Structure 1
């Protein structure tokens, strides 16, 4: 066998292994389901208290500001994905507000949205 044949065979083996590993389930595919498997978050019991303490406060997400009023439940539900993205990326609450969500609060928001942002 020539070097060219060995290289061709090695490339074929490498491509076969890579394509097999890419087509099978990996940890990243399972992470969101596993992440929230034991975390049942509810709107009324978990999310609204977080929003009321950190977002729906004077000068922020309440009536009379140019921002979405999060004292209205429907606004929280309709903007659930945005709330999730902003809190996961530490955009909200803004640092200037002096408020900061705990890892547990961020996880509750993440899981509530991941589980369908239900009105529960």
Structure 2
């Protein structure tokens, strides 16, 4: 499997983990120093894992498009894409389209997310 295929699969799995409230995925695939930014502010790994476990606004559907992988070197890459999310917010289905980017780093043969940016449309 190519780096591009691997990282696009990991991005799909990340959104699947969001839909399923799978905090274990986040605990495994976020580097300890991982950091994220969205319209809600910033969060670190512990906060991201906690939010996934709480799954308070479950994602019902996530569709990725416009994916692009920018390989910086053999062990670092950026994945960017559009994600169309349908989420259950306070009992109501909401459409939450966004652009997202993840910086990935490979260490010891394993890819881990280092940084995540989520920009609501």
* Structure with the higher strand share, 1 or 2: 2
TM-score w.r.t. structure 2 length? 0.26
* Structure with the higher helix share, 1 or 2: 1
Q: Looking at both structures, which has the greater relative contact order when contacts are Cα pairs under 8 Å and sequence separation is at least 6? A: 1
